[in-house]
């Protein structure tokens, strides 16, 4: 009887603990839409708080974004690499906090990777914009118009020369017209090579004819004909090297600029830079090309108290304040360059190049490009507030789950679990009668304990996790089947009920232990493997198996101990 | 006492020639599939080889053939599948695999969306999920997976070695490998996708399969204590199989029943569930027809009374 007492005590204590652990989750799961509204009006944020306390749902169930970033160490100085990932994590955490995503997970993986989970957030584009920007903000002056024009004229002439060589190659190709692959056997090796280089520069996804066009078209100004000067001072009408370019020509101009022969022409103190985004002007998509002085005049990290503002006319602005030395430096810079444009360069792209109208000492304003939306301005404000990343990052894996798919999965997972549970309960009750019903009680306890433990430990419930729960329901029945089959055999041999139950439990123990241990080992290995969703499976499998061992040998055993007194037993 | 099976007296051992032949076939196919996969073949999931996945639904009727034609016009290797029983009709999954660079995936996903927009101008395609896995992440996962599989195998084999004698340990392991290979073979032949979930199903299966065999061996060991003469060995094994038959089938049935529910519970877990269902059925077969006959063959060639 002593063993029954401790079994009873353990059961009661565990049931109470499980209830406590599962309480918040149970409350949340049973909330109706009406209840939610009532709770929110009574105390705003209380539903969120409950959600935080309840079992966490994986991204596959509640929707959300999972991103794996690689910090591009090769792009920064070796001395800066030591803590680059940790600093990047800090910056990204700040940025994500500004977006208001609840419970983001941001952690380091390996040497140069960062995993970011944004549960419930499904605006993938914005998330990428906020997380992925290096946000290196620099202020640069524009090159003088005359200098810029001179460089552009030189580019024109070099491209024309290259084209001439190219058209020779083209003529050679024309000789053997009719054979589609004739170009591959052109006798002019050098021209062929240039063609290859150009084709490479255009990117493999690019239109393959563009490279040919680039070489074969015989306009006089192959480069400058696409540039439409648009930036000029309203008062003095001085032109500045800011050019409007039709968006469809951008790729070609980029390719021309990337030619090594062209690169050699551009002095190191000058740089060509594209606008951050394209916009629609008189119903065609355009973007802008600027010729800047490479020297960084002022760095974005000195900006303080960044807020969203509203521009003079319609555009959006991001306002900032300056203080102390940086304020003086900015005043010097702006004071010396009144009526000249100042390019606001973010990650080597020009956001805008507004004219400096007066000396700016304390209150500055970043004018957003005219194509920018309010959200672009918000995103910029966020990344500036959180600071620049210590190194550029690239997204190497991403998973976005929309809310519909998530709720669909929850519904299906829930239905599958309920139907699976009912089928198993019915089968066992049918096959083993009263004893089967006892096993069913054990199974229900099992499920309850499992969910409670997962909620208490802060485990995340994923779709594979639900599969793990269902699977352990099936497997945990195995313990009972082993025991019951054994009891039946003993009864068949003519033993008493008491002796049969004792023997059944005793002899089944070895097999039950074996099956549990092997499953626990598998679950452990899967947990080490450690990808988000699989971890969910491993966790529910692990605890499910452990708990089933407990229910079989403590809870159902408890009931069977009471049945030992009976003359016959339904099994 | 209700019993579907009771303790039958079927001569399982006598039929071992047929079952060995059948199992040999399963193993050969499975080994072939396994080697092909190691060599980089097989329909691997994007989590292992990298790639992109877009899942979404059309607002108006659309056929899979039209979508497939649109996608394969630019992505010849793309896979297009219909998602049945989703909250919305006309739901599809598009996948491309094995990108060469990290940035290729992002470009491809943009291009796929644009392509669908171009080809279905007045039928909106609402994206429900998208996923990009770069080659580096796939590579990392393959490495982690190898580690996990080795870890699990070592763990389980160590346990088996500690708990059981050499012969039954080896025989159970052989039967377990037979089960896992058979599932791999069937998946390969049917062109089903191997992803991380299928792999975890296989690992779970390995554990399940081993214990299924161990239950029978336990019984053989127990029964052998009662029958000590050599001539009794084969009948004793046969009797043990029969005695545990009820348990073997009952447990398999419940596991299959619940896993069928998982199978019906949505697209994401379908292959995972299928691997488990196939595995449990094959495992049950091998517990009865393969695992114990191995012990008998071994004993008849190198007699050393099985204990």
Could you tell me if residue B307 is inside a domain? no
User: Which pLDDT tens digit goes with each residue over B136-189?
Assistant: 888 888 888 888 889 888 988 888 888 878 888 888 899 999 999 999 999 999
Which of B101, B133, B165 is the last residue in one of the domains? Answer: B133
How far from the centroid of its chain's Cα atoms is residue B130's Cα? Answer: 26
Interchain CB contact of B165 with A (< 8 Å) = no
d(Cα A424, Cα A443) in Å, to the nearest integer? 9
User: Which pLDDT tens digit goes with each residue over A136-176?
Assistant: 888 899 988 888 888 888 888 888 888 777 666 554 444 33
d(Cα B295, Cα B7) in Å, to the nearest integer? 22
| Same domain (yes/no): A416, A541 | yes
pLDDT at B17: 85
pLDDT at A183: 38
A21-56 burial, b at 16+ Cβ within 10 Å, e below that, comes to bbebbbebeebeeeeeeebeeeeeeebeebbeebbb
d(Cα B114, Cα B118) in Å, to the nearest integer? 6
Q: Cβ–Cβ contacts within 10 Å for residue A267, how many? A: 11
d(Cα B265, Cα B270) in Å, to the nearest integer? 8
Could you tell me if residue A57 is inside a domain? no
A205 and B107 in contact by Cβ < 8 A? Answer: yes
Strand-pairing partners, residue B96, are B52
Split into its structural domains, chain A has a count of 3
pLDDT at A180: 40
| Same domain (yes/no): B172, B283 | yes
Distances (CA, A) of A376 to A32, A123, A321: 37, 14, 20
| Same domain (yes/no): A304, A180 | no
Helix, strand, coil shares of chain B, percent, nearest 5, are: 70, 10, 20
Could you tell me if residue A469 is inside a domain? yes
Q: Which among B246, B6, B227 has a CA at the least distance from the CA of A492?
A: B6
Could you tell me if residue B20 is inside a domain? yes
| Same domain (yes/no): A195, A244 | yes
A534 and B200 in contact by Cβ < 8 A? Answer: yes
Could you tell me if residue B4 is inside a domain? no
- Contact between residue A141 and residue A342 where contact means Cβ atoms under 8 Å apart: yes
Between A282 and A67, the higher pLDDT residue: A67
Token representation of residue A38: 């009532």
DSSP B300: H
pLDDT at A217: 52
Q: Which of B102, B151, B272 sits opposite A396 (nearest CB)?
A: B102
| Same domain (yes/no): A246, A233 | yes
How far from the centroid of its chain's Cα atoms is residue B254's Cα? Answer: 18
Between A117 and B229, the higher pLDDT residue: A117
Residues of chain B with Cβ-Cβ distance to A430 below 8 Å are 2
d(Cα A230, Cα A240) in Å, to the nearest integer? 8
Residues of chain B with Cβ-Cβ distance to A413 below 8 Å are 265-266
Could you tell me if residue B267 is inside a domain? yes
> Which secondary structure element, helix H or strand E, spans residue A364, and what is its range?
strand A363-367
**Relative orientation angle of helices B292-301 and B166-190, to the nearest 10 degrees:** 130
Instruction: Assess whether pLDDT exceeds 50 at residue A112.
Output: yes
Cβ neighbours of residue B219 under 8 Å, at least 6 residues apart? Answer: B240, B243, B244
Model ipTM value: 0.87
How many CB pairs (< 8 A) connect A and B? 220
- Contact between residue A71 and residue A369 where contact means Cβ atoms under 8 Å apart: no
Chosen for mutation from B173, B254, B275, B291 (greatest number of chain A CBs closer than 10 Å) is: B254
CATH of the domain at B80: 3.30.70.1130
pLDDT averaged over every residue in chain A: 82
Between B78 and A223, the higher pLDDT residue: B78
Which of B88, B113, B133 is the last residue in one of the domains? Answer: B133
A416 and B261 in contact by Cβ < 8 A? Answer: yes
Interchain CB contact of B167 with A (< 8 Å) = no
A475 and B214 in contact by Cβ < 8 A? Answer: no
| Same domain (yes/no): B164, B192 | yes
Q: What values do phi and psi take at A80, rounded to 5?
A: -85, -5
Residues of chain A with Cβ-Cβ distance to B244 below 8 Å are 485
- Verdict on whether the full-model pTM lies above 0.90: no
Nearest CA in chain A to B259: A471
Give the SS3 label for residue B133: strand
Q: How far apart are the first and last CA of chain B?
A: 32
| Same domain (yes/no): B181, B58 | no
Residues of chain A with Cβ-Cβ distance to B287 below 8 Å are none
A115-151 burial, b at 16+ Cβ within 10 Å, e below that, comes to bbbbbbbbebebbbbbbbbbbbbbbbbbbbbebbbeb
Residues of chain B with Cβ-Cβ distance to A424 below 8 Å are 254, 257-258
pLDDT at B304: 67
pLDDT tier for residue B132 given thresholds of 50, 70 and 90: very high
pLDDT at A207: 44
Count CA within 13 A, CB hemisphere, residue B105: 29
Residues of chain A with Cβ-Cβ distance to B246 below 8 Å are 485
Interchain CB contact of B204 with A (< 8 Å) = yes
| Same domain (yes/no): A397, A420 | no
**Percentage of residues in chain A having pLDDT higher than 70:** 88
Chain B closest CA to A482's CA: distance in Å? Answer: 6
d(Cα B67, Cα B54) in Å, to the nearest integer? 13
Query: Which segment of A26-40, A183-197, A298-312, A468-482 scores lowest on mean pLDDT?
Result: A183-197
Token representation of residue A364: 């500055």
| Same domain (yes/no): B59, B144 | no
Give the SS3 label for residue A239: strand
Burial class (CB in 10 A: 0-12, 13-18, 19+), B293: buried
Chain A closest CA to B27's CA: distance in Å? Answer: 23
Token representation of residue B295: 């012990």
pLDDT at A188: 40
Residues of chain B with Cβ-Cβ distance to A428 below 8 Å are 254
d(Cα A410, Cα A404) in Å, to the nearest integer? 10
Instruction: Assess whether pLDDT exceeds 50 at residue A204.
Output: no
Domain that holds residue A192: 75-294+372-401
User: Which pLDDT tens digit goes with each residue over B36-85?
Assistant: 998 888 899 998 899 999 999 999 999 999 999 999 999 988 999 998 87
Following CA atoms B232, B238, B241, B243 in sequence, which dihedral angle do they give, to the nearest 10 degrees? -70
| Same domain (yes/no): B60, B173 | no
Residues of chain A with Cβ-Cβ distance to B155 below 8 Å are 521-522, 524-525
Helix, strand, coil shares of chain A, percent, nearest 5, are: 60, 15, 25
Could you tell me if residue B143 is inside a domain? yes
| Same domain (yes/no): A20, A153 | no
Residues of chain B with Cβ-Cβ distance to A431 below 8 Å are 2, 4, 250
| Same domain (yes/no): B129, B142 | no
Burial class (CB in 10 A: 0-12, 13-18, 19+), A196: exposed
Interchain CB contact of A267 with B (< 8 Å) = no
Chosen for mutation from B87, B204, B244 (greatest number of chain A CBs closer than 10 Å) is: B204
Distances (CA, A) of A213 to A177, A202, A244, A538, B303: 17, 12, 21, 57, 83
Which of B133, B149, B177 is the last residue in one of the domains? Answer: B133
pLDDT at B230: 65
| Same domain (yes/no): A247, A317 | no
pLDDT at A450: 92
Could you tell me if residue A311 is inside a domain? yes
Chain B closest CA to A87's CA: distance in Å? Answer: 22
| Same domain (yes/no): A320, A376 | no
Could you tell me if residue A43 is inside a domain? no
A91-114 burial, b at 16+ Cβ within 10 Å, e below that, comes to bbeebbebbebeebbbeeeeebbb
| Same domain (yes/no): B117, B235 | no
- Contact between residue B171 and residue B214 where contact means Cβ atoms under 8 Å apart: no
**Percentage of residues in chain B having pLDDT higher than 90:** 39
- Contact between residue A386 and residue A95 where contact means Cβ atoms under 8 Å apart: yes
| Same domain (yes/no): A328, A242 | no
Chain A window 189-218: which residues touch B at a Cβ cutoff of 8 Å?
205
Chain B window 85-144: which residues touch A at a Cβ cutoff of 8 Å?
85-88, 102-103, 106-107, 111, 127-134, 136-137, 140-141, 144
| Same domain (yes/no): B263, B165 | yes
| Same domain (yes/no): B74, B149 | no
Q: What values do phi and psi take at A363, rounded to 5?
A: -105, 110
| Same domain (yes/no): A113, A194 | yes
B258 and A474 in contact by Cβ < 8 A? Answer: yes
> Which residue in the block uniquely carries the two structure tokens 């009976």?
A566
The 3 state secondary structure assigned to A200-221 is: HHCCCCCCHHHHHHHHHCCCCC
Chain A window 427-456: which residues touch B at a Cβ cutoff of 8 Å?
427-428, 430-433
Strand B91-97, strand B51-58: pairing:
antiparallel
Could you tell me if residue A343 is inside a domain? yes
Could you tell me if residue A117 is inside a domain? yes
Residues of chain A with Cβ-Cβ distance to B264 below 8 Å are 416
Interchain CB contact of A115 with B (< 8 Å) = no
d(Cα A431, Cα A50) in Å, to the nearest integer? 42
Chain A closest CA to B241's CA: distance in Å? Answer: 13
DSSP B4: S
Split into its structural domains, chain B has a count of 2
Q: Could you please report the per-residue DSSP string of A57-107?
A: EPHHHH-EEEEEEEE-GGGS-GGG-TTHHHHHHHHHHHHHHHHT-SS-EEE
Tell me the torsion sign for CA atoms A42, A44, A48, A49: negative
| Same domain (yes/no): B261, B120 | no
Instruction: Assess whether pLDDT exceeds 80 at residue A372.
Output: no
Could you tell me if residue B2 is inside a domain? no
Residues of chain B with Cβ-Cβ distance to A512 below 8 Å are none
- Contact between residue A436 and residue B241 where contact means Cβ atoms under 8 Å apart: no
- Contact between residue A384 and residue A304 where contact means Cβ atoms under 8 Å apart: no
Could you tell me if residue A456 is inside a domain? yes
Which of A347, A381, A401 is the last residue in one of the domains? Answer: A401
> Which residue in the block uniquely carries the two structure tokens 């779709």?
A463
User: Which pLDDT tens digit goes with each residue over A269-312?
Assistant: 899 999 888 888 888 888 899 999 988 888 887 888 888 877 65
B148 and A529 in contact by Cβ < 8 A? Answer: yes
Domain that holds residue B150: 13-43+137-301
pLDDT at A318: 85
Token representation of residue A394: 């690239």
Could you tell me if residue B277 is inside a domain? yes
pLDDT at A249: 85
A464 and B204 in contact by Cβ < 8 A? Answer: no
Tell me the torsion sign for CA atoms B243, B249, B254, B259: positive
Instruction: Assess whether pLDDT exceeds 50 at residue A178.
Output: no
Could you tell me if residue A69 is inside a domain? no
| Same domain (yes/no): A259, A139 | yes
| Same domain (yes/no): A171, A259 | yes
| Same domain (yes/no): B263, B148 | yes
User: Which pLDDT tens digit goes with each residue over B255-307?
Assistant: 888 888 888 877 788 899 999 999 999 999 999 999 888 888 888 888 765 44
CATH of the domain at B177: 1.20.1640.10
Which of A371, A392, A411 is the last residue in one of the domains? Answer: A371
| Same domain (yes/no): B229, B118 | no
DSSP A555: I
d(Cα B6, Cα A489) in Å, to the nearest integer? 9
Between B167 and A177, the higher pLDDT residue: B167
- Contact between residue A10 and residue A554 where contact means Cβ atoms under 8 Å apart: yes
CATH of the domain at A516: 1.20.1640.10
């Amino acid at each position: 009887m002593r063993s029954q007492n401790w079994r009873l005590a353990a059961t009661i204590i565990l049931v109470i603990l499980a209830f406590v652990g599962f309480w918040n989750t149970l409350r949340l799961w049973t909330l109706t839409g009406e209840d939610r509204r009532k709770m929110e009006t009574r105390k705003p944020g209380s539903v969120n708080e409950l959600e935080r306390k309840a079992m966490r749902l994986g991204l596959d169930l509640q929707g959300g974004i999972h991103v794996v970033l690689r910090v591009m160490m090769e792009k920064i100085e070796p001395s800066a690499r030591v803590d680059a990932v940790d600093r990047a994590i800090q910056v990204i955490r700040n940025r994500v906090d500004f977006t208001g995503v609840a419970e983001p997970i941001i952690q380091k993986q390996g040497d140069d990777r960062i995993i970011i989970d944004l549960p419930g957030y499904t605006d993938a584009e914005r998330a990428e914009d906020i997380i992925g920007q290096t946000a290196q903000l620099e202020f640069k002056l524009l090159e003088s118009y005359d200098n810029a024009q001179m460089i552009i004229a030189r580019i024109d002439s070099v491209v024309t020369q290259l084209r001439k060589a190219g058209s020779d190659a083209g003529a050679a190709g024309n000789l053997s017209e009719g054979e589609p692959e004739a170009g591959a056997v052109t006798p002019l090796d050098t021209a062929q090579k240039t063609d290859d280089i150009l084709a490479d520069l255009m990117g493999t996804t690019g239109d393959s004819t563009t490279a040919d066009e680039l070489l074969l078209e015989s306009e006089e100004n192959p480069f400058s004909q696409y540039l439409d000067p648009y930036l000029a001072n309203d008062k003095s009408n001085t032109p500045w090297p800011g050019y409007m370019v039709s968006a469809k020509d951008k790729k070609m101009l980029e390719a021309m600029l990337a030619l090594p022969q062209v690169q050699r022409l551009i002095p190191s103190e000058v740089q060509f830079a594209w606008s951050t985004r394209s916009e629609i002007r008189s119903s065609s998509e355009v973007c802008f090309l600027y010729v800047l002085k490479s020297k960084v005049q002022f760095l974005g990290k000195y900006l303080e108290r960044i807020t969203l503002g509203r521009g003079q006319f319609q555009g959006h602005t991001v306002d900032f304040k300056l203080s102390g030395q940086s304020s003086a430096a900015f005043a010097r810079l702006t004071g010396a360059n009144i009526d000249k444009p100042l390019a606001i360069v973010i990650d080597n792209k020009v956001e805008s190049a507004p004219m400096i109208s007066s000396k700016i000492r304390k209150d500055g304003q970043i004018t957003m490009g005219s194509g920018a939306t309010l959200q672009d301005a918000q995103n910029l404000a966020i990344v500036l507030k959180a600071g620049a990343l210590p190194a550029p990052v690239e997204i190497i894996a991403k998973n976005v789950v929309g809310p519909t798919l998530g709720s669909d999965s929850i519904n299906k997972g829930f239905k599958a679990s309920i139907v699976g549970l009912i089928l198993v309960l019915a089968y066992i009750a049918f096959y083993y009668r009263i004893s089967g019903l006892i096993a069913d009680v054990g199974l229900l306890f099992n499920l309850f304990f499992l969910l409670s433990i997962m909620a208490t430990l802060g485990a995340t419930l994923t779709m594979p996790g639900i599969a793990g729960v269902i699977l352990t329901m099936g497997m945990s029945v195995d313990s009972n089947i082993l025991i019951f089959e054994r009891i039946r055999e003993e009864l068949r041999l003519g033993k008493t009920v008491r002796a049969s139950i004792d023997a059944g439990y005793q002899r089944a123990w070895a097999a039950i232990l074996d099956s549990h241990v092997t499953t626990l080992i598998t679950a452990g290995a899967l947990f080490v493997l450690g990808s988000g969703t699989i971890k969910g499976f491993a966790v529910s499998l692990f605890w499910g198996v452990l708990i089933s061992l407990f229910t079989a040998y403590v809870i159902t055993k408890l009931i069977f101990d009471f049945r030992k007194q009976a003359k016959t037993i339904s099994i | 006492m209700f019993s579907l099976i009771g303790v039958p007296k079927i001569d399982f051992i006598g039929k071992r020639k047929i079952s060995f032949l059948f199992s040999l076939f399963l193993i050969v196919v499975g080994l072939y599939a396994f080697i092909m996969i190691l060599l980089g073949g097989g329909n691997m999931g994007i989590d292992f080889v990298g790639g992109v996945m877009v899942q979404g639904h059309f607002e108006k009727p659309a056929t899979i053939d039209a979508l497939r034609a649109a996608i394969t016009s630019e992505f010849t290797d793309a896979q297009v599948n219909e998602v049945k029983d989703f909250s919305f009709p006309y739901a599809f999954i598009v996948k491309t695999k094995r990108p060469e660079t990290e940035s290729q995936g992002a470009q491809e996903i943009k291009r796929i969306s644009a392509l669908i927009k171009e080809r279905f101008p007045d039928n909106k395609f609402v994206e429900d999920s998208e996923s990009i896995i770069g080659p580096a992440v796939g590579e990392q996962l393959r490495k982690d997976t190898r580690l996990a599989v080795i870890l699990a195998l070592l763990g389980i084999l160590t346990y088996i070695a500690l708990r059981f004698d050499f012969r039954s340990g080896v025989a159970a392991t052989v039967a377990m490998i037979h089960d896992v290979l058979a599932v791999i073979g069937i998946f390969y032949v049917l062109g089903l996708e191997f992803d991380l979930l299928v792999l975890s199903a296989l690992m779970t299966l390995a554990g399940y399969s081993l214990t299924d065999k161990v239950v029978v061996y336990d019984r053989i060991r127990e029964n052998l204590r009662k029958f000590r003469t050599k001539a009794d060995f084969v009948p004793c094994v046969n009797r043990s199989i029969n005695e545990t038959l009820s348990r073997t089938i009952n447990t398999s049935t419940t596991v299959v029943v619940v896993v069928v529910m998982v199978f019906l519970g949505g697209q994401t877990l379908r292959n995972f569930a299928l691997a488990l269902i196939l595995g449990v059925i094959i495992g049950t077969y091998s517990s009865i027809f393969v695992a114990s006959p191995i012990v008998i063959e071994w004993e008849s060639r190198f007699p050393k009374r099985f204990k």
